[in-house]
Amino acid sequence: MTSGLGERREGIHRMLGAESVAVVGASDDEDKVGYRPVYFLTRFGYKGRVYPVSRRPGQCCGLTSYPSLSALPEVPELVVIVVGARHVPEVLTEAGKLGVASAIVLSSGFAELGADGRKLQNEVADIAKSFGMVLCGPNSVGIVHSPTALTATFTEALTRGELLSGAVGIVSQSGAYGTVILAEARHRDVGIRTYISSGNEAVVGFGDYLAALSDDPGLRVVGGYVEGIQDAARFREGALHARRQGKPVVLVKAGRSSRGMVAAASHTAAVAGHDEAYEAAFRRYGVVRVGDDEELIDALEAFDVLEHLPSGDRVAVVSMSGGAGVLLCDLLDSAGLRMAEFSPALRARLRDLLPEFASVRNPVDLTGQFVSDTTGLSDVLVAVAGDPAVDLLIVYAGLGWMKEDQWFGAVESAAAFDCPIVVVCPLTTGETRRRFRSLRVPVFPSAAAAVRAARAVVSWGISRSSDEPGSSDEPGRGAARPDLAAARIRSGIASLPRTSGLMGETEAKELLGRMGLAVPRGSLAATREEASRLAAELGSIVVLKLEAQGLVHKTDVGGVAVGVPLDAVADTFDRIISEVAARAPGRAIAGVRVEEMISGGIECVIGAAPGDPFGMLIGVGMGGTSLEHLADLAFELAPVSAARALEMISSLRSAPLLKGSRSSVPFDIEALAEAVALVSSFVVESRGRVKELDLNPVLLAPQGQGLVVLDAALIIDGSGPEPRAVVGDLQVASPDLEAAGSAPPRGASSLGAIT
């Protein structure tokens, strides 16, 4: 099988469209896994031909079984394998020689079990690839494709009820949890068009499935469960392909906690990366992230039902309960959604329609009058839905089923507008939900569920109306002075040593200075006399910092002295050397850096760290002592443009402080954004040579006065590839950043704090 996304997509299409299926390991024993695929295929009326293959002669679900694939009357287009793991290579080889196009391995016992299982899985993958065969799994629960009733699975979700075809696709790395999601969707009458249990993804990856499903014109949304992405490039391709096709992707990503990450690794052999990296990747590629299976089903139902999706986050609430309206306000605020501000014209119209004691502001309380008399309900909903200041309308109908026809008629009138409508109606019936869905209006049993769904569709709608996700990966976007930025980054990369480990602070600051970032004047002193001379040349109060091999936390071992007067430099030099020798023995001491002390400004941090599996993460936030205590940081995948960096800064909890208020001056956040963009492109262009970077603190001066990097730590991999010889147009513009007044550093940098 070739490695291109297009070929893999086509292979998945052929697998889903297979007109003949052989089940190897089929059984007529209802307690065996090999029974269910054949049973489901026959029970649900699969439109193709089914061939049970078993070493035991006889029948399976009324069908004649065959001793081998070679004994079948035709070469099946799809083979479902349900044999012991050690026999899978033999079956795949036979299938490949016959020309079988695709296979699903339901068998477990592969990479999820450790090294021996990984070796067997690699063998299986090599066999499939050698024959150009699409392979789902191993350790998969199988696939369901409702249009043809292809139920090549043993999932318990199909043991009750009938197939409910719809416009939703689901891909799950977990078999058991995916089964729960499938069952919940069917219970909620959310029609599943295609369900794929991807298993260990030995050949075909999660991103491939996203791309293939989004090609289906009968599918509106793809949901899924992810533990870890093994191929970041494929995932990016798949997610962006889905977006270009206009298909939202909604995912549950497990493994936020360290304990969850360990569990994920032992469950599906997935590698769970930093959660911040997944957040950043999902945001960049236009993926909507949800918290659990319940929220996933809420979102899928909304995407499936709504005809129009909101392009903004302004939400209006019309409620038959004042209390429910207040609750919805709280929930919407927690979800990051705004309450729409009604225009004077809309308020005047509502004043005419509502009792005089009713509020005409958002949320609209219909009052108890509408419980007994729904006259005018249609006019209220039409007025709100038709207001251009409203992006989405949530209608809390309460026990609306008591006057269902009136509520239905009112919502039907309001649905004539492009404004999407979501109805909350606790204790509603399936029939009522289906009735409202005919209007392209989803009904949810609780306010919380409605807000979860609203958050998902608003997130997607805003993403669709913004620049193409992933575009910040493209060099040149947003570059006001790309030639200058490129030259500076070339200079920085040329300064990277071929050794590995932590760069000395002096060397690191020299590199940053070549890149145009302001750093304090200073030099490295090897003796007390040299330290005194350097301090005299600076001509002011100074800062002394130890430089020792691999030592990051200098303050912890007494390696930093701030505000040292000129006449105390020599004694302070001696004290630092002796104290560090006692508290951190065995360190190779290079000397003590003597640099000017800069005061004023506010402390920030710029950092870069591995964002496995998606590349490098760039972080910006409050630095110095605030970094450890407040953890107010924003992350994005590198590289980022200056415009995106400014958005990151604006998302910080401390953004109001940085932007200034009546009692404080604004700081130069534009200079900070330019520095973030410059550093992020430098990290990317280093091609893995820069493993981690921590500029903390970065002293940010008042607006228009720039910034200065007070402390810097870079971890370098000298064995990495040679950096690019030519840096093309970069996406950052970095003006000359002049040194500005700033506060003294209060501690050494902490590389671990930015990850």
User: What CATH number is attached to the domain comprising 531?
Assistant: 3.30.1490.20
Domain assignment present for 479: no
- The segments of the chain whose pLDDT lies below 50 read 1-2, 258-273, 468-469, 471-481, 725-755
**Nearest to residue 80, comparing CAs of 59, 56, 53?**
53
Buried b / exposed e along 55-70 (16+ C-beta atoms within 10 A): eeeeebbebebbeebe
Q: Kindly state the helix (H) or strand (E) to which residue 347 belongs, with its residue range.
A: helix 344-353
Integer Cα distance of 35 and 718 in angstroms: 56
Same domain for 23 and 153? yes
Q: What is the pLDDT of residue 466?
A: 67
Last residue of a domain, one of 549, 565, 596: 596
Angle between helices 206-214 and 232-244 in degrees, nearest 10: 10
* CATH code of the domain containing 155: 3.40.50.261
Same domain, 199 and 69: yes
Q: What is the pTM of this model?
A: 0.86
Helix/strand/coil for 183: helix
- Residue 544: predicted pLDDT: 96
pLDDT of residue 238: 96
> For tokens 């050690």, what's the residue?
86
570, 623: one domain: no
For 151-170, letters b (16+ CB in 10 Å) and e give bbbbbebbeeeebbbbbbbb
The tokens of 722 are what?
Answer: 């040679």
Q: Are residues 661 and 575 in the same domain?
A: no
Confidence at residue 122, expressed as pLDDT on a 0 to 100 scale: 97
Return the ∠ at Cα 9 (arms to 7 and 13), rounded to 5°. Answer: 115
Euclidean distance between CA atoms 521 and 506, whole angstroms: 10
Residue type, 233: A
pLDDT at 629: 63
Specify which residues 236 forms β-bridges with. none
Based on the fold, state whether residues 588 and 605 are members of the same structural domain.
no
For residue 134, what are the β-bridge partners?
Answer: 102
> Cβ contacts of residue 241 below 8 Å, gap of 6+?
5, 210, 211, 214
Does residue 250 contact residue 296 with C-beta atoms inside 8 Å? yes
177 domain-assigned: yes
Give me the residue label for tokens 């236009």: 286
What letter does residue 667 receive in the DSSP assignment?
A: B
Sign, CA torsion 515/517/521/523: negative
In-domain check, residue 358: yes
Residue 78 counted as domain residue: yes
Q: Looking at the structure, tell me whether residues 748 and 627 fall in a common domain.
A: yes
Q: Is 543 helix (H, G, I), strand (E, B) or coil?
A: strand
C-alpha distances (whole Å) from 523 to each of 84, 502, 503, 512 are 67, 18, 15, 14
pLDDT score for 715: 92
491 within a domain of the structure (yes/no): no
Contacts of 177 (CB under 8 A, 6+ apart): 225, 293
Residues 608 and 714 in one domain: yes
Question: Do residue 349 and residue 324 come from a single domain?
Answer: yes
8 A C-beta contact, residue 441 and residue 423: yes
Question: What's the N-to-C CA distance of the chain in angstroms?
Answer: 38
pLDDT at 356: 82
Q: What angle do CA 549, 555, 559 make, to 5 degrees?
A: 55
Q: Is the dihedral of CA 372, 375, 381, 387 positive or negative?
A: negative
What pLDDT, on the 0 to 100 scale, is given for residue 753? 31
Amino acid at position 654, single letter: S
pLDDT at 467: 54
**Do 386 and 450 belong together in one domain?**
yes
Whole-number pLDDT of residue 625 = 65
- CB-count exposure of residue 628 (10 Å: 0-12, 13-18, 19+): exposed
Residues 578 and 624 in one domain: no
Non-local CB neighbours of 485 within 8 Å, separated by 6+ positions: 479, 678, 681, 730, 732, 733, 734
pLDDT of residue 373: 64
32 with 97, same domain? yes
Number of domains in the chain: 4
Report pLDDT digits (tens) over 599-644: 889 999 999 998 889 999 999 999 876 666 677 889 999 999 999 9
> Which domain, by its residues, includes 606?
599-754
* pLDDT tens digits, 385-435: 999 999 999 999 887 666 888 889 999 999 999 999 999 988 778 888 899
Report the alpha-carbon distance of residue 3 to residue 12 in Å, rounded. Answer: 13
Boundary residue ending a domain (549, 573, 596): 596
- The rounded Cα 49 to chain-centroid distance in angstroms is 41
In a domain, 515, yes or no: no
pLDDT of residue 204: 96
Would you say 196 and 223 are in contact if contact means Cβ atoms under 8 Å apart?
A: no
Residue 667 lies in a domain: yes
Q: Which residues contact 511 (CB under 8 A, 6 or more apart)?
A: 492, 495, 496, 503, 714
Last residue of a domain, one of 596, 617, 645: 596
* Shared domain check, 738 and 608: yes
The domain that holds 673 is classified in CATH as 3.30.470.20
How many Cα neighbours within 13 Å face the side chain of 592? 32
Query: Phi and psi (nearest 5°) for 619?
Result: -125, 150
Please check whether residue 511 lies inside any domain of the structure: no
